[in-house]
Chain A
Amino acid sequence: MVLTGAEIVIRCLQEEKVEYVFGYPGGAVLYLYDALFQQEEVRHVLVRHEQAAVHAADGYARSTQKVGVALVTSGPGATNAVTGIATAYCDSIPLVIISGQVPTAAIGQDAFQEVDTVGITRPCVKHNFLVRDVRDIASTIKKAFYLAKTGRPGPVLVDIPKDITIAKCDFEYPKEISMRSYNPVVRGHQGQIKKAVQLLLEAKRPMIYTGGGVVLADAAEQLTRLTRLLGYPVTNTLMGLGGYPASDRQFLGMPGMHGTYEANMSMHYCDVLLAVGARFDDRVIGNPAHFAEEPRKIIHVDIDPSSISKRVKVDVPIVGDVKEVLDEMIRQLEAGAARPNADHLATWWKQIEEWRGRNCMAYKNSDEIIKPQFVVQKLWEVTGGNAIVTSDVGQHQMWAAQYYHFEQPRRWLNSGGLGTMGVGLPYAMGAQLAHPDTHVACITGEASIQMNIQELSTCKQFRLPIKICNLNNRYLGMVRQWQQIFHGARYSESYMDSLPDFAKLAASYGHVGIRVDRPCDVEDALREAFVKHKNELVFLDFQVDQTENVYPMVQGGKGLTEMILSAEDL
């Protein structure tokens, strides 16, 4: 069947079973929009800024296991998308971004709305393509989806010049794709897995450290089985939360800069560390030299060889997919008779319980002023721990991670690697569209929310009943905290002046806005939002304690055992 390039693009999206495309039109993509208009399978979500289009596609991908899709025009459309692309790249999220480009003949002529999109995005995509021939569109899009979701996932951009969308050719969607230069290793090396299991069984002070890779591989079930089989303590990074049920006794909370005392002490003093789909980020292990001082054997499972032995020397590297490798570990354990030494394990757990006894997440609540931690705790109670929670970046993000206890994967969406303020609302949009019957809450700050506040309009158009919980401390709180601790309390440009009345602002977009000033009103306001206004977007503007800081804390450059547990330690 002979189709135009534009029609072929949309047909490809249909073939990939794409439900939603998040985008924004412009001159270079007019033919694509025309083709979209003439069909119904692929629905388009018109955002109010291209950055939000990519974030929303990203939120859609994080909350499902599908590839998120965004569509933007050339020039400013593409440059606006860059922050979204980089954000997805840093957290290994599968996306396909289609960008319009000026006609082939105009490329390199400094044409109107021409930028070198492939060049600009090269360092922040898994791969990108410039399509130069209409006959290449179908195979390129097929490759883009394949690359985005296999191996270590990531965003893939396809740049399509306008004339290519007009040109015609015969359409056939390739069924299979293979690339001689791209063959990710999925099955782990048997011998290495055997060595790892052996080492795990001999451990006296074992620790399981897992990350985003478990979520990306959809391997929460395998992780839970393995961890229970062994009886070992487990921690999830910020990206891995929900990979193991937070309510379980073996779960020690999150490690790292704002992680728990027990998780960090166990990471540091274990003798065998099983790292699974986690990349020893500096926010997790603190100072690598300090981390290396304590002798321990490290097993590292990751699909990307370059994540292994990058920051920390690894003893047993296993390149492969988390799901496959954990399945094989479970199989070997169950087939063998050997079990962990119960005495060693009991002694180790006794030590861990002592650390846990420090109760590092305790905070002083107040009757007078709303504590941000209290809001998150109440949100958890009111939603029964079952909401999809998105967050922006800052103190509120850490409180969300610390006090909302995730039982399942893909319920916690945030920007860990790039730390992009402004993701919260678009992530919630993508998640709500993918899960229309699930509560979606966006925990944000008065500064972050303003980075993509225009999306309140999109939420109205698509009737997305998101509940925005603004922990309004009138400060760039995370910046203020660092200035207080490291810069002699000189609060340079961290006060958020001239804030809007968020409740009224939400109302002007046609949503419900509620301002909450007193601790005693927090729970009622949340219930009102989730019950009475179940089907509406509610903007809850919580006026919280301006001076609250996030604890525990490992200061930059310090070791994991050198934690500040509360303000008294300062």
Chain B
Amino acid sequence: MRHVISLLIENESGALSRVSGLFSARGYNIESLTVAPTEDASMSRMTIVTSGSDEIIEQITKQLNKLVEVVKVVDISEAAHIERELMLIKVRATGKDREEVKRTADIFRARIIDVTDASYVVELTGNQAKLDAFVGAIDPALILETVRSGVCGVGRGDRVLKL
């Protein structure tokens, strides 16, 4: 089962490697991991997308909690939550493809943020499935490069991850 784990961690050098080292040492999956400081600069927030049986997810949250620098851990996928990911995708845009890519971008509510006479950079935000669908909708031969931020997540409504 896929899970989205959010955590607050002291913004110390090496903190990220403690988390990534934990996953590799114990053989847990990481589908994506994002991290950046929060409004409180002494803390970073991390979103980890992982998968495993209930027992493995239980161990993952326990092991994360055990890291001395981790302040709080929540499996936000246990309840209603929102996930977003940012993608920048550079595509070849010449001839009739120019119009086609633009049309597809509009359908997905994506934005073209860089234009040359041969290419576009398209910016798209959404959940993973939406980004996957956009990539699927573009002729693979046109794709020059894609870069995705990994998933950020937040619980809906009253569910707040805060110190």
Q: Measured between alpha carbons, how far is A180 from B72 in the docked complex, in Å?
A: 10
- B129: which A residues are within 8 A, CB to CB? none
Query: What 10 pairs across the A-B complex have the smallest Cβ distances?
Result: A306-B62, A127-B68, A181-B71, A305-B62, A182-B68, A123-B25, A306-B63, A306-B66, A181-B69, A181-B10
- Tell me if A179 is interfacial: C-beta within 8 Å of chain B: yes
Which among B17, B63, B65, B66 is the interface contact of A122 at CB below 8 angstroms? B17
A-B contact pairs, 22 of them (CB 8 A): A118-B14, A119-B14, A119-B17, A122-B14, A122-B17, A123-B21, A127-B68, A127-B69, A130-B13, A130-B14, A179-B68, A180-B163, A181-B9, A181-B10, A181-B68, A181-B71, A304-B66, A305-B62, A305-B66, A306-B59, A309-B58, A310-B59
- Tell me if B55 is interfacial: C-beta within 8 Å of chain A: yes
- Tell me if A147 is interfacial: C-beta within 8 Å of chain B: yes
Q: Smallest distance from the beta carbon of B57 to chain A beta carbons, Å?
A: 12
Tally inter-chain residue pairs, CB-CB below 8 A: 37
In the complex, which residues 107-123 of chain A have their Cβ closer than 8 Å to any Cβ of chain B?
Answer: 118-119, 122-123
Q: Mark A154-191, 1 if CB is under 8 A from B, else 0.
A: 00000000000000000000000001111000000000
Q: Smallest distance from the beta carbon of B61 to chain A beta carbons, Å?
A: 9
By secondary structure, the A interface counts as mixed
- Tell me if B4 is interfacial: C-beta within 8 Å of chain A: no
- Tell me if B18 is interfacial: C-beta within 8 Å of chain A: yes
- Tell me if B70 is interfacial: C-beta within 8 Å of chain A: yes
- B25: which A residues are within 8 A, CB to CB? 123
Q: Smallest distance from the beta carbon of A100 to chain B beta carbons, Å?
A: 18
Given contacts A181-B71, A310-B59, A305 and B17 within 8 Å (CB-CB): no
Q: Smallest distance from the beta carbon of B129 to chain A beta carbons, Å?
A: 33
Q: Smallest distance from the beta carbon of B95 to chain A beta carbons, Å?
A: 50
By secondary structure, the B interface counts as helix
Smallest CB gap from A310: residue in B: B59
- A119: which B residues are within 8 A, CB to CB? 14, 17
Q: With contacts A122-B14, A181-B9, A305-B62 known, what are 19 further pairs, Cβ within 8 A?
A: A119-B14, A122-B17, A122-B21, A123-B21, A123-B25, A126-B68, A127-B68, A127-B69, A147-B68, A180-B71, A181-B10, A181-B69, A181-B70, A181-B71, A304-B66, A306-B62, A306-B63, A309-B55, A310-B59
Most buried by B among A118, A126, A130, A306: A306
- A180: which B residues are within 8 A, CB to CB? 71, 163
- A310: which B residues are within 8 A, CB to CB? 59
- A127: which B residues are within 8 A, CB to CB? 68-69
In the complex, which residues 288-325 of chain A have their Cβ closer than 8 Å to any Cβ of chain B?
Answer: 304-306, 309-310
- A126: which B residues are within 8 A, CB to CB? 68
Task: Tell me if A305 and B21 are in contact (CB < 8 A).
Answer: no
Q: Mark B135-163, 1 if CB is under 8 A from A, else 0.
A: 00000000000000000000000000001
Please list the residues of chain A having a beta carbon within 8 angstroms of any beta carbon in chain B. Answer: 118-119, 122-123, 126-127, 130, 147, 179-182, 304-306, 309-310
Q: Smallest distance from the beta carbon of B98 to chain A beta carbons, Å?
A: 47
- A147: which B residues are within 8 A, CB to CB? 68
Q: Measured between alpha carbons, how far is A309 from B25 in the docked complex, in Å?
A: 19
Q: Measured between alpha carbons, how far is A180 from B69 in the docked complex, in Å?
A: 9
In the complex, which residues 1-52 of chain B have their Cβ closer than 8 Å to any Cβ of chain A?
Answer: 9-10, 13-14, 17-18, 21, 25
- A181: which B residues are within 8 A, CB to CB? 9-10, 68-71
- B9: which A residues are within 8 A, CB to CB? 181
- A122: which B residues are within 8 A, CB to CB? 14, 17-18, 21
- A306: which B residues are within 8 A, CB to CB? 59, 62-63, 65-66
Q: Measured between alpha carbons, how far is A119 from B13 in the docked complex, in Å?
A: 11
- B68: which A residues are within 8 A, CB to CB? 126-127, 147, 179, 181-182
Smallest CB gap from B71: residue in A: A181
Most buried by B among A119, A304, A305: A305
Q: Smallest distance from the beta carbon of B16 to chain A beta carbons, Å?
A: 12
Q: Measured between alpha carbons, how far is A478 from B123 in the docked complex, in Å?
A: 63
Smallest CB gap from B14: residue in A: A118
Smallest CB gap from A156: residue in B: B68
Q: Measured between alpha carbons, how far is A306 from B63 in the docked complex, in Å?
A: 6
Q: Smallest distance from the beta carbon of B82 to chain A beta carbons, Å?
A: 26
Q: Measured between alpha carbons, how far is A306 from B18 in the docked complex, in Å?
A: 16
- A304: which B residues are within 8 A, CB to CB? 66
Smallest CB gap from A307: residue in B: B62
- B55: which A residues are within 8 A, CB to CB? 309
Q: Mark B102-145, 1 if CB is under 8 A from A, else 0.
A: 00000000000000000000000000000000000000000000
Smallest CB gap from A304: residue in B: B66
Q: Measured between alpha carbons, how far is A310 from B9 in the docked complex, in Å?
A: 24
- A309: which B residues are within 8 A, CB to CB? 55, 58
Q: Smallest distance from the beta carbon of A133 to chain B beta carbons, Å?
A: 13
Q: Measured between alpha carbons, how far is A185 from B59 in the docked complex, in Å?
A: 17
Q: Smallest distance from the beta carbon of B73 to chain A beta carbons, Å?
A: 11
Q: Measured between alpha carbons, how far is A179 from B70 in the docked complex, in Å?
A: 11
Smallest CB gap from A305: residue in B: B62
- B58: which A residues are within 8 A, CB to CB? 309
